[in-house]
Amino acid sequence: MTTTLRADAARNRDRVLATARALVAEGDLSLQLNDIARRAGVGVGTVYRHFPTRRALLEALAADAFAALLDQAQAASRDDDPWAGLQRLLRSILLGQLTEPTLAEVLSTSPDEDATAPTTTRRGELAALAATVLERATRAGQLRPGLTLDDLQHLVCGTAFAARIADAPDDRVELYLAVLLAGVRAPGQGSSPPA
């Protein structure tokens, strides 16, 4: 009996996530839990049992994209070329935000906004990896002096926002990224090849 209940709970959770993903694909990031329950054909209590807040649901939807971003950040932190590592990191963050709207929202909200423990951990890991990449590029003289991790975060978020509001095709996104990279590169380091 317990196994059946657990299997049923897992199916309900999967239905809620599938319904929420469909809404996000339609451009609806409001993720109203009552509406999701209705569309998924489950009780409101079922949704709240799995996802007590909109934020918890949003983070569950972004979890795979966040894990992929962490993999890219890890690779960037180990790149033999500090500038190539920075390019890889910024490109991964930008494209991750553009391809997965839930990731964009998770990354752009304050870490203090009721984040779940897994997301808090992921954010800490990403910040540590990004700090390593930034430090390596700075030590190598590749990064414009004075830029901080917060500066880079704001610049990437701004670039992602510009690409979204312009509904920019891939070639324009690549151009925006090239301009961003040229802007953060230390003077006298040459032009930035496309990321």
pLDDT at residue 108 in the model: 83
Q: Are residues 80 and 18 in the same domain?
A: no
Instruction: List CB contacts of 110: < 8 A, sequence separation 6 or more.
Output: none
CA 123 to chain centre: 10
Beta strands in 16-139 (DSSP E): none
CA distance 139 to 85: 13
Q: Are residues 130 and 169 in the same domain?
A: yes
Confirm whether 136 is domain-assigned: yes
Q: Are residues 99 and 150 in the same domain?
A: yes
CA distance 123 to 139: 24
Q: Are residues 39 and 71 in the same domain?
A: no
Confirm whether 57 is domain-assigned: no
pTM recorded for the entire structure: 0.88
Confirm whether 191 is domain-assigned: no
Contact 141, 186 (CB under 8 A): yes
Instruction: Indicate which CATH number applies to the domain containing 2.
Output: 1.10.10
* 185 backbone dihedrals φ, ψ, rounded to 5°: -75, 140
pLDDT at residue 87 in the model: 97
CA distance 77 to 91: 13
Q: Are residues 44 and 117 in the same domain?
A: no
Q: Are residues 119 and 36 in the same domain?
A: no
Low-confidence residues of the chain, pLDDT below 70?
1-5, 111-113, 190-195
Q: Are residues 92 and 117 in the same domain?
A: yes
Q: Are residues 75 and 143 in the same domain?
A: yes
Q: Are residues 44 and 70 in the same domain?
A: no
pLDDT in tens, 63-119: 999 999 999 999 999 999 999 999 999 999 999 999 999 999 998 877 666 778 899
CA distance 8 to 49: 13
Strand partners, 143: 185
Contact 136, 80 (CB under 8 A): no
pLDDT at residue 113 in the model: 67
Domain boundary, last residue among 32, 51, 70: 51
CA distances from 100 to 29, 59, 66, 85, 136 (A): 11, 12, 9, 22, 28
Domain boundary, last residue among 9, 28, 51: 51
Q: Are residues 177 and 131 in the same domain?
A: yes
Q: Are residues 177 and 146 in the same domain?
A: yes
Confirm whether 56 is domain-assigned: no
* Residues spanned by the domain of 8: 1-51
Confirm whether 40 is domain-assigned: yes
**What SS3 state is found at 143?**
strand
Confirm whether 5 is domain-assigned: yes
CA distance 13 to 78: 37
pLDDT at residue 112 in the model: 66
- Count of domains observed in the chain: 2
CA distance 154 to 134: 14
Instruction: Indicate which CATH number applies to the domain containing 163.
Output: 1.10.357.10
Q: Are residues 31 and 105 in the same domain?
A: no
pLDDT at residue 110 in the model: 74
